Amino acid sequence: MSEPVVLFWYRRDLRLHDNAGLYHALRSGFPVLPVFIFDQTILDALDDKQDRRLEFIHHTILEMQQEFRAIGTSLIVRYGKPLEVYKELLNEFDIQAVYTNYDYEVYAKNRDKTMADMLYENGAEFYAYKDQTIFDRDEILTGSGSPYTVFTPYSRNWHNKLNDFYLKSYPTQNYFSNFLKTAAHPIPKLEELGFKPLNEPFPGKTVRSELLNQYKETRDFPAVRGTSELSIHLRFGTVSIRELARKARERNFTFLNELVWRDFYFQVLDHFPHVETSSFRPAYDHIPWRNNEDEFQRWCEGRTGYPIVDAGMRQLNETGWMHNRVRMITASFLCKHLLIDWRWGEAYFAKKLRDYDLSANNGGWQWAAGSGTDAAPYFRVFNPTLQAQKFDPKGEYIRRWVPEFNSLAYVQPMVEHTMARNRAIEMYKKGFADS
Ligand code: FAD
């Protein structure tokens, strides 16, 4: 068999620079081979064979392969179930250990546990590192050592604890000579994976300087480019969270605080995995949702008759992205105005968002439904008309996505606001009484 090696397993950390797990692999004393697996289980679950996320990953893998070729090594790219792929790799290479970065989702945690056991049985180690967050699981806890369930005190503690140590970069480039020198391994085409490209441009990786100056003032207005649009890069790790947080710390507290929300929802998912399928607060599992399928369809298609809701849903359907303020409005409308179970909306966003991340999406939906951490009182119901007046005062965003707005062609509101608000409060109360 060939010489002993360690593998670095890429998952949602698709970059060579400032990568914690890769850094440790490169310093292991063994030559390193990088690996990426197109996970068959995840690909099979994607209904739409034109998927922005998969295309983004594929495109990134090709770019990374060029970087690897320039330093004389190659990414090994396989398609299949990770456990089976690693069994094959164990036959092909003398693997001492597999290095990777933590993943906080239930599916991933189970997969990694099974993988670690299988490798151990075959004489190889499995090492995972914190890379996608600044602080994880047990680093930000209450005085009594429990996880936070409310954002504001969590964020206070997060900011207090932050120092240069947590933001330091992992200088992988100093150890690139420790990659195994090898010929190029083949990479399957997107079509060979059963997908077709959309060929749309992806957002850039750098945070615009003027954005960091103005973020606080611009972030809530969907008609302007007032947010970073880095979410796809943070989702797949093409941008280092440490590098971004360093810039944010120097330039803009409000922007840095958005990154704290991201850490917060990761630790919620990690500590309270039940949120993946049920409400963070069990009492909210008893709300008598109406779950009308026709109404859900109208919401999905952006035909509710509430222009800001329709604009958001059409932006999502056409681009795979929606502005944060509008995510809050559309989500609230579904849960409160239509009394449709937040999990239906969560699943729809999961299918469509190019930045879909279980922790942030689940956190956002449970926030909107009022069933999650930091719940706004359930009787606070967003008024979509007032939200539009406040955050899209000239109607520019609405006209961009709903051109027929203000014409006879535009649909009537599917539900009257005051009635819907009262009905939501009534049903939420009923849910609590039944819990
Ligand atoms: P910016 O405003 O530039 O923020 C910078 C980064 O901070 C984002 O890229 C993101 O990584 C992080 N961030 C900002 N706000 C939040 C937040 N509330 N929670 C967690 N992280 C945050 N974000 C996702 O990344 N994936 C999702 O699947 C997702 N689903 C959501 C669903 C709902 C119902 C709601 C209300 C919010 C959701 N968010 C999600 C959070 C937020 O809307 C997006 O992160 C943001 O709109 C992405 O655009 P941006 O990169 O321009 O954000």
Catalytic option among 9, 299, 321, 342? 342
Of 271, 288, 311, the one marking the end of a domain is 271
CATH of the domain at 229: 1.25.40.80
* 360 CB near ligand 1 (under 6 Å): yes
- Residue found by looking up tokens 């007046």 in the block: 389
Q: What CATH number should be reported for the domain holding residue 327?
A: 1.10.579.10
Give the span between the Cα atoms of 142 and 408, in whole angstroms: 56
Collect all residues with Cβ–Cβ distance below 8 Å to 423 and sequence separation of at least 6: 339
Instruction: Verify that 107 and 155 share a domain, yes or no.
Output: no
Structural domain includes residue 379: yes
Q: Do residue 88 and residue 136 come from a single domain?
A: no
Q: Given this model, what pLDDT does residue 137 score?
A: 87
Phi then psi for 146, rounded to 5 degrees? -100, 160
Residue 175 lies in a domain: no
**Beta strands 94-101 and 76-80: pairing type?**
unpaired
Same domain, 57 and 125: yes
Domain presence at residue 177? no
Q: 323 by DSSP, 3-state: which? A: coil
- One domain, residues 352 and 243: no
Contact 361 CB / ligand 1 (< 6 Å): yes
Ordered DSSP codes for 48-69: -SS-HHHHHHHHHHHHHHHHHH
Q: How far is CA 56 from the centre of its chain?
A: 14
Q: State which of 223, 247, 271 marks the end of a domain.
A: 271
With a 6 Å cutoff on the Cβ, whether 355 touches ligand 1 is: yes
In a domain, 202, yes or no: no
Model-level ipTM above the cut of 0.90:
yes
- Ligand 1 within 6 A of CB of 348: no
Q: Among residues 261, 276, 292, 317, which one is catalytic? A: 261
345 lines ligand 1 (CB under 6 A): no
Ligand 1: nearest atom to the Cα of 355: 26
The CA R_g of the chain, rounded to the nearest whole Å, is 23
CA of 34 from ligand 1 middle (Å) equals 29
User: By three-state DSSP, how is residue 6 classified?
Assistant: strand
pLDDT score, position 18: 98
328 in contact with ligand 1, CB cutoff 6 A:
yes
- In a shared domain, residues 319 and 361: yes
Q: Any idea of the CA torsion for 294, 346, 317, 310, to the nearest 10 degrees?
A: 60
Atom in ligand 1 nearest the alpha carbon of residue 259: 7
Nearest C-alpha to atom 10 of ligand 1 is from which residue? 231
Domain contains 416: yes
Spatial CA neighbour of 325 closest among 299, 276, 364: 364
The predicted pLDDT at position 376 comes to: 66
Query: Which atom of ligand 1 lies closest to the CA of 235?
Result: 25
- Specify whether 414 is located in the same domain as 427: yes
Is 258 noted as a catalytic residue in this protein? yes
Q: Which pLDDT value is given to residue 193?
A: 97
Nearest CA to ligand 1 atom 9: 231
Assign residue 396 a region: left if phi > 0, alpha if psi is -120 to 50, beta otherwise? alpha
Backbone φ and ψ for 349, nearest 5 degrees, come out as -60, -40
Contacts of 164 (CB under 8 A, 6+ apart): none
Residues 14, 90 within the same domain: yes
In sign, the C-alpha dihedral spanning 135, 140, 146, 149 is negative
In a domain, 182, yes or no: no
Tell me, yes or no, if 289 is annotated catalytic: yes
The 3-class SS string of 170-206 reads CCHHHHHHHECCCCCCCCCCCHHHCCCCCCCCCCCCC
198 in a domain, yes or no? no
Amino acid 367: pLDDT:
93
Structural domain range at position 333: 275-431
Do 257 and 321 sit in the same domain of this protein? no
Q: Is 0.80 topped by the overall pTM?
A: yes
**pLDDT truncated to tens, each residue of the chain (435 aa)?**
589 999 999 999 999 999 999 999 999 999 999 999 999 999 999 999 999 999 999 999 999 999 999 999 999 999 999 999 999 999 999 999 999 999 999 999 999 999 999 999 999 999 999 999 999 989 999 999 999 999 999 999 999 999 999 999 999 999 999 999 999 999 999 999 999 999 999 999 998 888 989 999 999 999 999 999 999 999 999 999 999 999 999 999 999 999 999 999 999 999 999 999 999 988 889 999 999 999 999 999 999 999 999 999 999 999 999 999 999 999 999 999 999 999 999 999 999 999 999 999 999 999 999 888 875 677 889 999 999 999 999 999 999 999 999 999 999 999 999 999 999 999 999 888 887
Residue 146 CA, ligand 1 centroid: distance in Å: 25
Burial (CB count <10 Å: 0-12, 13-18, 19+), residue 236: buried
Considering 9, 365, 367, 401, which one is annotated as catalytic? Answer: 365
Residues 264 and 280 in one domain: no
Shared domain check, 142 and 258 = yes
Q: Quote the ligand 1 centre to 95 CA distance (angstroms).
A: 38
Number of domains in the chain: 3
Q: How far apart are the C-alpha atoms of 44 and 190, rounded to whole Å?
A: 14
- Domain-terminating residue out of 252, 271, 290: 271
Q: Is 411 left (phi over 0), alpha (psi -120 to 50) or beta?
A: beta
Asked if residue 132 lies in contact with residue 262, where contact means CB atoms within 8 angstroms, the answer is: no
pLDDT for res 434: 80
9 is catalytic: no
Claim to verify: residue 289 and residue 413 sit in the same structural domain: yes
Does the beta carbon of 228 sit less than 6 angstroms from any atom of ligand 1? Answer: yes
CATH, residue 22? 3.40.50.620
Examine the domain organization and report whether 255 and 299 are in the same domain: no
Tell me, yes or no, whether 68 lies in a domain: yes
